[in-house]
Amino acid sequence: MVVRVDDPGHASRVDVGLNIGLHARAVPSTGDPVLFEVHTSEPDTLAGPNERGLVLAGHDSAHARLSAAIRLLSTPDPSKPWLEGFETRMIVEWLRWVGMQLPHAPAQELGEELIAHVHAARPEDGGQVTP
C-alpha cells in the first residue's frame, strides 16, 4: 500500500494505491508537459479513461492539466457516439471545480466552445489534437 498527500499535515488531496506495481509511467502519455508519474503493475497498462481521470483529479498546474485533458480526448468512434460528450463533460466539471464561481450553464458553453475548437484542430485522420 502506498499513500501520498499533496501537503503533509494539511492535505487537500490524498492518493492511495494498492498493489500498484513497480513500472513508472508518465501522465499524460501524450507528451509534454508531464504532470507526474504513476506506478502500474505492468508497463503501459494505464487505460485512457484512467489517465484522463488522473489528469483531471487535481487543481494544481491548471493550464497543463487542461492541455493534457484536451490531448487525451478520444478519437471519434462511430460505435461510441456518446464518448465525446462524456469526456467533454468531465472537462466541464473540472473547470467548475477549478473556478468555484463558475455556474453550470456557462461551464457547458465553455465545453461546447472547446469541442468546436477540437473539431476544427483535429487532423483529417482523426488523430489527437495539439492544443
Q: What percent of the chain has pLDDT over 90?
A: 13
**Using CA atoms, how far apart are residues 70 and 115, in angstroms rounded to an integer?**
9
Task: Report pLDDT for 131.
Answer: 53
Find the helix or strand (DSSP H, E) in which 50 lies: helix 48-55
Position 128 in a domain: no
Q: Is residue 36 part of a domain?
A: yes
Domain count, the chain: 1
**Residues 6+ positions from 2 with CB-CB distance below 8 Å:** 16, 17, 20, 39
Half-sphere exposure of 84 (CA within 13 A, CB side): 15
Can you give the pTM of this predicted structure?
A: 0.72
Residue 131 lies in a domain: no
- pLDDT value, residue 113: 94
Query: Could you identify the residue written with the cell 483535429?
Result: 122
| Angstrom distance (rounded) from CA 121 to CA 40 | 32
| 81 found inside a domain | yes
Question: pLDDT tens across 48-82, in order?
Answer: 778 888 888 888 888 888 888 888 887 788 898 89
State the Cα–Cα distance between residues 38 and 34, nearest whole angstrom: 11
Domain of 9, in residue numbers: 2-121
Cα→Cα distances 112→17, 25, 46, 94, 116, Å? 35, 31, 28, 14, 6
